[in-house]
């Protein structure tokens, strides 16, 4: 997978970060298992997964806060595997922000530049620039304890960005913020990314956040990257049951494929589907499931009984029980409802042949 | 709980506090008393016992020795104790717990045993002359556990993300320690040093056995108590008490003590 | 291996421990097996020291243990109730009271002994008060120079040391466990012994261990306050090293004392841990 993409790239697009066979074990626990990943310059990559999948460990490996048990890390063409965080061209925004409590915001931001012995004039200029970038001008000379959560977030971000790292790492950057603030900060992060044109890698368990912020997503489960690609690819073309249910909602119907014909437990026969014989699942997103009136056409069509109906303003969520006793969820836009439906009604549901995916059942 | 039991508890509590503090308050009180006896009636209020004490050259020699020893002991034990505590705080518990207990053993044993062990050790095995230096070494042994415990306890609530941040921004271990760790735990370290000061000033047994000719304040007091019931003892006892208690109080205030 | 190198900062402290504690004590142990010939101490491997210690000083040893154990028990008991008072009854004054109690923790060893010597003496305050109030017609000589005076002074000295671990372990007791006890009908005694005490066993064991050990090894308190009745073994161990120079005897006594103390502490621990089931 990765190698194919490699061949397609020309030299100018060669990846900024290359992880090869990277793994990390703590005692007998394998937190990260043999990761191969390329990160291109100017990517905004999300490492997405449930808790315990190893995503934070992976981030810390890239940042130099943990030594890999195996494998190599290359950044900008240099092997940094054995380097500590002090010497890597990366900077991290920590989950708890890690702002030095005994310094003001400005002093925090200037800290790294002082260590690099940047001249005072240049240092002050860069610090002012980045304070402007994150819009903390008024609070720059306050102590960090006086800042709200969102402001601390921006201060920590500024402190990392001022160092001009080749890769900016963010550990669950928005987890501690409330909903409203989170949305504002998402916009801020996107704006800053566009303005400085850097490479960002962030870790999150929130799939909505991953979809909103990133241009590439790597989905992790139990130490492995199970799928990687752009947000549309991941959402529309999940490659496993795990990915399909982790990102967005998904209906999963079971079935069998034999000789390129898929037969579902729910009784549907489907247009030919290439692939090996065996147990398969059909994945269809709730927003793709339509309620069909008697004479409407659809590639795939079946009948069921409505067991639940919830009106959610913009759409109505129906739970329909099929002949296989499986439940399928349909989110139907309020404007597209042909008529009123009630619990207990028998209806026909269906979707286009391109709207579903057939995956091997693992 | 009803009223009478409340009173009962407060009465008991007050009694205990009185028990703990009265003997010392009496010593301080009588150091200012006109009468030579440590008893009522006191006579008038006077400084004369202090005058007599301050005129005594032996007192000043002892005082100087105490300060010299304490000065060296405080600096050394605070430095090495803090170093050890910081390292122990980041070790695996299976390794740090036994080391911690081992380092604190000297305080859990009768000082007499340590004193005689050191005496035999110095005289018979190492062959050094007894001197202030040998006393300093002995004090180090019993002050360092306090420093280690105090700093170790502080590190339990230390935000290690700050150290990661500093390293991430390019600081090596030494710079991180100076610019991040130390400023943050500064008050605890000072508190630990002050406790070491109190312990060293008050230390008697080990000093008694390992000092050659001179005196420290405690051995000076001991000598006086042994030879006669001299009213200046109240004065010098008060001075010793003031030094150690104020050191302890400042230490507790500075490190924002919580039991 | 790398972890060991990274922990080089513990080396100075460990060196102090090794060079000034482990080495001297081990060597002292070795010395306890030497023999004393006339005016010199000679390397040897005999049990003379231990023999002499047991034969001549067993009575003092027992006396010491008796005083130390009773002091330990009294101190721990008072400390327990006082800690309970501070933790549950004193409200916001609790912290201040604790502060006052602990202020003398690190200083004033000799001062305290001298204070008691003054207070309990024939011309001391207590006697003056007793005579003045008409309770006795003459000053009591019996206040001083006996086991009681030693125990009193030791208790006074040890209380802050005993209170500390018990208060620490009581802080972990949730108030609601006491309320639950009351809700279920337990009277105050039951709550104290059945709810509070079991939850702070660790603190009580520590309190007893510290008070007992320090009391057992104490030498100055009995020297000034004990007379013959309150003589404790510390005095005799010390004299072997200051006046008498029978080092094997002295170190044998020291190790025998430590061994018996350790035994007592272990027994106490078993008793407390098994006790209230």
Residue C76 in tokens: 């721990």
pLDDT at A194 over 50: yes
Range from A127-141, A208-222, B215-229 carrying the lowest mean pLDDT: B215-229
- The predicted model gives A116-123 an average pLDDT of 91
Chain B, nearest residue to C217 by Cα: B110
Tokens of A329: 């969820």
Across the 277 residues of chain C, what is the mean pLDDT of every consecutive 10-residue run? 70 87 88 77 78 82 88 93 87 84 81 86 77 75 80 91 89 78 75 79 88 88 82 84 81 87 86 65
The minimum CA-CA distance between B190 and chain C, rounded to whole Å, is 16
Within 8 A of B27 by CB-CB distance, chain C residues are 111, 114-115, 118
Q: What's the whole-model pTM score?
A: 0.80
Q: Per-residue pLDDT tens for B158-201?
A: 999 999 999 999 898 889 999 999 999 999 999 999 999 999 99
% of chain B with per-residue pLDDT over 90: 34
| Among chain B residues, CA nearest to A93 | B165
Q: How far apart are CA A338 and CA A316, in angstroms?
A: 12
Q: What distance in Å separates the CA atoms of residue B33 and residue B45, rounded to the nearest whole number?
A: 5
Range A137-148 average pLDDT: 90
Q: How many CB atoms lie within 10 A of CB C40?
A: 8
From the CA of B72, how many Å to the nearest CA of chain A? 30
Cα–Cα separations (whole angstroms), residue A300 to A281, A297, A333, C28, C113: 15, 9, 19, 92, 97
Question: What is the pLDDT at residue C231?
Answer: 79
Q: Are C20 and C33 in contact (CB under 8 A)?
A: no
| Structure-block tokens of residue C102 | 């602990």
State residue C106 phi and psi, 5-degree precision. -100, 5
Q: What is the pLDDT of residue B96?
A: 87
Q: Helices C147-170 and C201-217: crossing angle, nearest 10°?
A: 150
Least confident of A90-94, B4-8, B222-226, C155-159: B4-8
- Tell me how far apart the terminal alpha carbons of chain A are, to the nearest angstrom: 20
CB B118 within 8 A of CB B210: yes
Residue A332 has pLDDT above 70, yes or no: yes
User: In chain A, what percentage of residues exceed pLDDT 70?
Assistant: 96
Which 3 state secondary structure label does DSSP give A220? strand
* Whole-number pLDDT of residue B38: 60
Instruction: List alpha helices for chain B, DSSP H.
Output: 3-30, 48-55, 57-89, 93-108, 111-120, 132-155, 161-168, 173-176, 182-202, 205-210, 217-227, 232-254
Give the SS3 label for residue B48: helix
| Chain A residues touching B161 at Cβ < 8 A | 94-98
Cβ partners under 8 Å of residue C156, min gap 6: B19, B20, B23, C112, C116
- The terminus-to-terminus CA distance of chain C in angstroms comes to 45
Q: Using 50, 70 and 90 to split pLDDT, how confident is the model at A1?
A: very low
Does residue B18 sit at the C interface (CB-CB below 8 Å)? Answer: no
Chain A residues close to B183, C-beta within 8 Å = 102
Q: What is the mean pLDDT of chain B?
A: 86
Q: Which chains sit next to C, with 3 or more Cβ pairs under 8 A?
A: B
For residue C2, what pLDDT is reported? 59
**Is the predicted pLDDT of residue A6 greater than 70, yes or no?**
no
Domain range C47-276, CATH class: mainly alpha
What pLDDT does residue A9 have? Answer: 42
CA distance A39 to A42: 9
Inform me whether the pLDDT recorded for A4 exceeds 70.
no
Q: Which domains does chain B have, with CATH numbers?
A: 57-254 (1.10.3720.10)
- A216-221 and A44-48 as β-strands: parallel, antiparallel, unpaired? parallel
ipTM: 0.84
Taking a contact as any Cβ pair under 8 Å apart, which residues of chain B between 162 and 191 contact chain C? none
> Which among B113, B125, B204 has CB closest to C254?
B113
pLDDT mean over A264-276: 76
- Residue A163: its chain B contacts at CB < 8 A? 169-170
pLDDT at B229: 66
Query: Per-residue pLDDT tens for B108-164?
Result: 888 899 998 998 888 877 777 777 888 999 999 999 999 999 999 999 889 999 999
Closest residue in chain B to residue A156, using alpha carbons only? B165
pLDDT, position C138:
73
Q: Residue A32, class by beta-carbon neighbours within 10 Å (0-12 exposed, 13-18 middle, 19+ buried)? A: buried
| Phi, psi angle pair for A228, to nearest 5° | -145, 135
- Give domain limits for chain C: 47-276
- Separation CA C191–CA C178 (nearest Å): 7
Provide the pLDDT for residue B259.
41
Partners of C97 on chain B (C-beta within 8 Å) are 13, 17
Q: Averaged over A77-93, what is the pLDDT?
A: 89
For chain C, say whether B27 makes contact (Cβ under 8 Å).
yes
The pLDDT value given to residue A13? 64
- Which residue blocks in chain A are alpha helix, DSSP H? 2-8, 55-63, 105-115, 120-133, 149-161, 179-196, 207-213, 231-236, 241-246
3-state SS, one letter per residue, for chain C: CHHHHHHHHHHHHHHHHHHHHHHHHHHHHHHCCCEEECCEEECCCCCHHHHHHHHHHHHHHHHHHHHHHHHHHHHHHHHHHHHHHHHHHCHHHHHHHHHHHHCCCCCCHHHHHHHHHHHHCCCCHHHHHHHHCCCCCCCCHHHCCCHHHHHHHHHHHHHHHHHHHHHHHHCCCCHHHHHHHHHCCCCHHHHHHHHHHHHCHHHHHHHHHHHHHHHHHCCHHHHHHCCCCCCCHHHHHHHHHHHHCCHHHHHHHHHHHHHHHHHHHHHHHHHHHHHCC
For chain B, the residues whose C-beta falls within 8 A of a C-beta of chain A are 159, 161-162, 164-172, 175, 179-180, 183-184
């Amino acid at each position: 997978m990765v190698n194919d993409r490699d061949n397609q790239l020309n030299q100018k697009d060669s990846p900024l970060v290359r992880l090869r066979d990277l793994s990390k074990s703590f005692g007998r626990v394998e937190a990260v298992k043999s990761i191969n990943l390329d990160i291109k310059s100017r990517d905004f990559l999300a490492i997405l997964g449930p808790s315990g999948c190893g995503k934070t460990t992976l981030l810390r490996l890239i940042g130099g806060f943990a030594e890999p048990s195996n494998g190599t890390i290359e950044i900008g063409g240099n092997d940094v595997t054995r380097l500590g965080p002090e010497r890597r061209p990366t900077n991290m925004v920590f989950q708890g922000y890690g702002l030095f409590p005994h310094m003001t915001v400005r002093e925090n931001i200037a800290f790294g530049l002082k260590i690099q012995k940047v001249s005072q004039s240049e240092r002050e200029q860069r610090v002012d620039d980045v304070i402007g970038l994150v819009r903390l001008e008024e609070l720059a000379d306050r102590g960090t304890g006086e800042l709200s959560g969102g402001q601390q977030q921006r201060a920590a971000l500024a402190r990392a960005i001022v160092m001009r790292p080749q890769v900016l790492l963010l550990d669950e950057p928005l987890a501690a913020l409330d909903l409203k603030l989170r949305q504002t900060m998402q916009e801020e992060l996107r704006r800053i990314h566009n303005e400085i044109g850097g490479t960002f890698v962030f870790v999150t368990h929130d799939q909505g956040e991953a979809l909103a912020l990133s241009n590439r997503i790597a989905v992790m489960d139990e130490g492995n990257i199970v799928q990687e690609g752009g947000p549309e690819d991941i959402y529309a073309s999940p490659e496993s049951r795990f990915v399909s249910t982790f990102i967005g909602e998904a209906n999963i119907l079971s079935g069998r494929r034999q000789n390129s014909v898929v037969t579902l437990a729910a009784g549907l026969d489907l247009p030919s589907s290439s692939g090996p014989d065996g147990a398969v699942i059909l994945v269809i997103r709730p927003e793709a499931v339509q309620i069909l009136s008697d004479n409407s056409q659809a590639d795939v069509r079946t009948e069921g009984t409505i067991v639940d109906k919830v009106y959610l303003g913009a759409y109505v969520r129906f739970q329909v029980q099929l002949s296989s006793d499986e439940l399928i969820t349909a989110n139907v836009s309020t404007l597209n409802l042909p008529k009123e439906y009630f619990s207990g009604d028998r209806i026909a549901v269906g979707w286009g042949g391109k709207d579903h995916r057939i995956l091997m059942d693992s | 709980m009803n009223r009478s039991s409340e009173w009962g508890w407060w009465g008991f509590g007050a009694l205990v506090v009185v028990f703990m503090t009265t003997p010392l308050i009496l010593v301080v009180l009588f150091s200012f008393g006109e009468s030579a006896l440590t008893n009522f009636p006191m006579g008038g209020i006077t400084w004369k016992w202090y005058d007599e004490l301050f005129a005594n050259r032996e007192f000043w020699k002892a005082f100087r020795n105490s300060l010299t020893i304490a000065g060296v002991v405080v600096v050394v034990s605070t430095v090495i104790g803090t170093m050890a505590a910081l390292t122990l705080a980041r070790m695996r518990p299976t390794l740090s717990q036994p080391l911690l207990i081992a380092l604190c053993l000297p305080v859990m044993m009768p000082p007499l045993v340590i004193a005689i062990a050191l005496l035999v050790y110095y005289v018979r095995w190492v062959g050094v002359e007894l001197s202030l230096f040998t006393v300093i070494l002995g004090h180090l042994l019993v002050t360092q556990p306090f420093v280690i415990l105090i700093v170790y306890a502080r590190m339990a609530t230390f935000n290690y993300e700050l150290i990661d941040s500093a390293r991430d921004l390019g600081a090596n271990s030494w710079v991180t320690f100076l610019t991040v760790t130390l400023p943050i735990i500064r008050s605890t370290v000072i508190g630990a040093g002050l406790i070491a000061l109190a312990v060293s000033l008050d230390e008697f047994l080990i000093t008694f056995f390992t000092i050659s000719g001179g005196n420290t304040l405690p051995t000076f007091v001991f000598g006086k108590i042994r030879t006669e019931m001299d009213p200046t003892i109240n004065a010098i006892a008060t001075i010793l008490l003031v030094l150690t208690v104020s050191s302890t109080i400042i230490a507790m205030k500075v490190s924002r003590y919580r039991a | 291996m790398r972890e060991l190198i990274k922990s080089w900062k513990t080396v100075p402290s460990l060196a102090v421990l090794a060079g000034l504690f482990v080495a001297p004590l081990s060597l002292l142990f070795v010395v306890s097996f030497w023999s004393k010939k006339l005016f010199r101490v000679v390397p040897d491997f005999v049990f003379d020291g231990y023999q002499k210690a047991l034969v001549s000083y067993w009575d003092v040893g027992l006396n010491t243990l008796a005083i130390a154990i009773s002091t330990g028990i009294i101190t721990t008991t008072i400390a327990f109730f006082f800690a309970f008072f501070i933790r549950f009854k004193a409200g916001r004054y609790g912290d201040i009271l604790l502060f006052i109690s602990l202020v003398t923790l690190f200083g004033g060893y000799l001062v305290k002994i001298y204070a008691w010597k003054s207070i309990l003496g024939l011309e001391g305050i207590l006697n003056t008060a007793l005579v003045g109030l008409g309770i006795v017609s003459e000053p009591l000589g019996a206040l001083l120079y006996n086991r009681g005076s030693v125990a009193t002074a030791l208790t006074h000295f040890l209380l802050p040391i005993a209170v500390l671990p018990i208060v620490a372990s009581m802080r972990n007791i949730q108030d609601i466990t006491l309320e639950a006890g009351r809700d279920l009908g337990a009277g105050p005694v039951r709550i104290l012994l059945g709810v509070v005490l079991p939850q702070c066993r660790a603190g009580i064991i520590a309190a007893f261990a510290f008070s007992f050990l320090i009391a057992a090894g104490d030498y100055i308190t009995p020297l000034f306050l004990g007379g013959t009745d309150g003589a404790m073994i510390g005095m005799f161990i010390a004299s072997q090293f200051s006046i008498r120079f029978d080092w094997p005897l002295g170190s044998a006594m020291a190790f025998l004392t430590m061994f018996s103390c350790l035994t007592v502490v272990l027994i106490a621990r078993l008793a407390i841990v098994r006790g209230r089931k």
